[in-house]
Structure 1
């Protein structure tokens, strides 16, 4: 009996080990399914198992910048000229506003440039060696501005998406430059930029890289307008230039009293499962909720951007990092409802969540107070209409206009140049040729040449 019992113990131990292994495997499969599934519903317990990762961190950034909206700087008015004020639509597409006009028209827009200047002054400024220390990864480019012209030193792209975004940034820079009548008199600068979603994808936050978005702790980088101000084209959807989308929305928008008193959202939960599934569950079965996942393969639940404007309320959720779709939602005369944002874009300083200048509704990152914030506005649509009008006046008709974008770029050039302590040499002695290819020529290269480009070794130069 004793011998038989001894032989059974290893078998029981082996069985227990198998059960634990199967359970562990099942949990891994369940988490993978929860993260990658785009189904409308998965069990709430499974949602809780999804790791937060970058999708639902506990930190966020909230700006209270209503003074920026209401207090232009009178000292900026030139005493020898009549008082000038920004007027929409007269000035909205004017890429050539003077620096003084830019500051009068867009107070608060240049806050992050000022922050970048303060940071790099405290570090002693920037030199060429700071750029040389940056490893150029896919989705990055190095360029310089000399005598008012843009030159591309190097560019790296992993596929056509990177290439198009890099072209969008370069084109926006070129547009802002050529509209400046004093561009030839500006200081030469050299810089590196990234079109990736996150700083940590390509570099660390101590490097002076120009990026689309940053977190509050990433102080070394400089914010620039994202590529889609120029144009956005992806494999599933052609969107076009941002101002063209705004024109389309304005033509197709409906009067406030004809809008649906509901909250609309369309998207893929797998892009940010913790956040987006929290929104889906918070709005599920609510009479004011029209929140659905999309299936691009079948076209299920797909909604054109202009059709979002038929709703009084539009939800906004960050994706892998920032979401470039926010400005498209802000083009509607609707109330934007957004969770506390983690990532900062260049125009986020103008977001106001309360008070007379309120231009959006802010909720917790887990959407736990969504019903509490939405239901009073559904009952009192005149209060919601005021928030929507403030959003239009602030963003669609001012801070997201082509004029504001061009002004921001030129302010970025000026701010960066104020801490740039090196000269820019447009000639490579080592290779006996220009260090950079002019933007106009880079634009004409075949796509494969743009994917992996270095001007100093470019074989297209005359020999």
Structure 2
């Protein structure tokens, strides 16, 4: 009796256990699918509860960067140590903006604060015992990376790896910018030889360790070993679906079409894909939803819905800026407008971010929390006092459009990067010939003539040189 009675008592418990496991598995799968949908959907609306459940993803939402620039915008130029030959020289936007051949001393006078990250990286590597060839040899070239050297003032490509045409175009943009800065250098022939590695990927962690001396477009405050360089789109941004062109050409076009302040819409505009950074971007969408001052919408590139040309953003008094997978190259395009930039606390640093000023007489943008919880309280006073908003917008245009994002400033930054890096480059000379007697690098002028397919996995010492 005991044995026969035990069967019906045990079997239901097993059945209940299996059923519970099935229910838990089903709930887990449903939760995963719902969160996946929330992270990858570009729908205008998903329930706020789901928005709260979304993980931070690529954005560490509790971290941000506060810039304390030692050669700040508040410091008048008169306090700078000017060489006697430059005692009467001052930056003049119409005259100097496109002058890529400014002397080093002129660069220092024209762009105080622009070279902060070069100084930081140089100090870091002085403390690390400088950079040797062995340090570069330890860097594995991932896709989107290039190894190159400058010798006798000329750029040579040692190796390059590109995953498709997007990488290749970005690599060509960086190499073109380096060549342009060298070609305009009045002391080109006196420049020290040096070798370096750069990456065109969005994030340092995509390709290498933050301790490696790689040149990158953006970094977080903890990524101390890397060196910041201007991003590829200063040369030009172009792909089959979206032609933008050289940055200075975009600025010229925007200036021609920009409208007077009093004619701008008293609204905050933003267009983008929420799925690029769902936690951040959906927070902006919800903070501005149904607000009379908000014109914040997701775009559908496949249909063209809600797409807004860059110059049309300038028709608004306020333009929102949100980081994407990492940094967002679109900030400088927004800064080309005579409008107020509204940005959350930034996690990623680009080379010109040190010039961002969030308060005081030189304020040139409005900073809000990363979850946009204070967006309305920051916008409303400026809607009521549009003269204050006009001052911030004008400061932004004068600081970035008319000074620190000009072709002259970009060339000055590149040469400052060359100088700072070469000061900690520990090799006495860059090898032009390897141990097998083959040339290690291909001159830039020859590299750009290669077939695109040859650039995807390029190794200079595998080429046949000579007639």
TM-score by length of 2: 0.97
User: What is the distance in 2 between the residues matched to 1:429 and 1:358?
Assistant: 53
CA contact (8 A) 1:64 1:352 kept: no
Which of the residues 338, 351, 361 maps onto 2:356?
A: 351
**Residue 17 of structure 1, CA deviation:** 1.2
Tell me which residue corresponds to 1:22: 26
Tell me which residue corresponds to 2:446: 441
**Residue 64 of structure 1, CA deviation:** 4.1
Cα distance, 1:53–1:260 mapped onto 2, change above 3 Å: same
Tell me which residue corresponds to 2:13: 9
Measured against aligned partners, the alpha-carbon deviations of 1:79-133 in whole angstroms (never above 9, x if no partner) come to: 2455100001110000000000000000000000000110000011111111111
Say yes or no: does 1:413 pair with 2:412: no
CA contact (8 A) 1:339 1:365 kept: yes
CA contact (8 A) 1:163 1:451 kept: yes
User: What is the distance in 1 between the residues matched to 2:434 and 2:201?
Assistant: 32
User: What is the distance in 2 between the residues matched to 1:67 and 1:110?
Assistant: 9
Q: Which range moved further: 6-15 or 249-258?
A: 6-15
Which of the residues 117, 126, 133 maps onto 1:121?
A: 126
Tell me which residue corresponds to 2:52: 48
Q: Which runs of 4+ in 1 moved over 4 A?
A: none
Equivalent position SS for 2:93? coil
CA contact (8 A) 1:73 1:107 kept: no
Q: Which range moved further: 94-103 or 431-440?
A: 431-440
Cα distance, 1:372–1:74 mapped onto 2, change above 3 Å: closer
Which of the residues 46, 56, 59 maps onto 2:63?
A: 59
CA contact (8 A) 1:65 1:352 kept: no
Say yes or no: does 1:192 pair with 2:202: no
Say yes or no: does 1:85 pair with 2:97: no
User: What is the distance in 1 between the residues matched to 2:372 and 2:70?
Assistant: 24
Q: Which range moved further: 228-237 or 259-268?
A: 228-237
Say yes or no: does 1:428 pair with 2:429: no
Cα distance, 1:383–1:20 mapped onto 2, change above 3 Å: same
User: What is the distance in 2 between the residues matched to 1:427 and 1:389?
Assistant: 49
Say yes or no: does 1:401 pair with 2:406: yes
Measured against aligned partners, the alpha-carbon deviations of 1:365-419 in whole angstroms (never above 9, x if no partner) come to: 0000000100111111111000000000100000000000000000000011111
Which of the residues 180, 184, 190 maps onto 1:179?
A: 184
**Residue 62 of structure 1, CA deviation:** 1.6
Say yes or no: does 1:154 pair with 2:159: yes
User: What is the distance in 1 between the residues matched to 2:85 and 2:51?
Assistant: 63
Tell me which residue corresponds to 1:363: 368
Tell me which residue corresponds to 2:298: 293
User: What is the distance in 2 between the residues matched to 1:112 and 1:251?
Assistant: 33
Equivalent position SS for 2:72? helix
**Residue 211 of structure 1, CA deviation:** 0.4
Tell me which residue corresponds to 1:382: 387
Measured against aligned partners, the alpha-carbon deviations of 1:133-157 in whole angstroms (never above 9, x if no partner) come to: 1001100000000010000000000
User: What is the distance in 1 between the residues matched to 2:373 and 2:336?
Assistant: 27
**Residue 434 of structure 1, CA deviation:** 1.6
Query: Equivalences for 1:227-242 in 2 at 5 Å?
Result: 227-242=232-247
Measured against aligned partners, the alpha-carbon deviations of 1:164-218 in whole angstroms (never above 9, x if no partner) come to: 1000000000000000121110111100000000000000011000000000010
Equivalent position SS for 1:90? helix
Q: How many residues align?
A: 462
**Residue 77 of structure 1, CA deviation:** 2.1
Measured against aligned partners, the alpha-carbon deviations of 1:215-268 in whole angstroms (never above 9, x if no partner) come to: 001010000000000000134311100000000100111100000000000000
The runs of 5 or more residues in structure 2 that have no matched partner are: none
CA contact (8 A) 2:320 2:343 kept: yes
Say yes or no: does 1:260 pair with 2:265: yes
**Residue 3 of structure 1, CA deviation:** 4.1
Tell me which residue corresponds to 1:143: 148
**Residue 16 of structure 1, CA deviation:** 1.3
**Residue 2 of structure 1, CA deviation:** 6.0
User: What is the distance in 2 between the residues matched to 1:218 and 1:12?
Assistant: 52
TM-score by length of 1: 0.97
Equivalent position SS for 1:33? helix
CA contact (8 A) 1:96 1:403 kept: yes
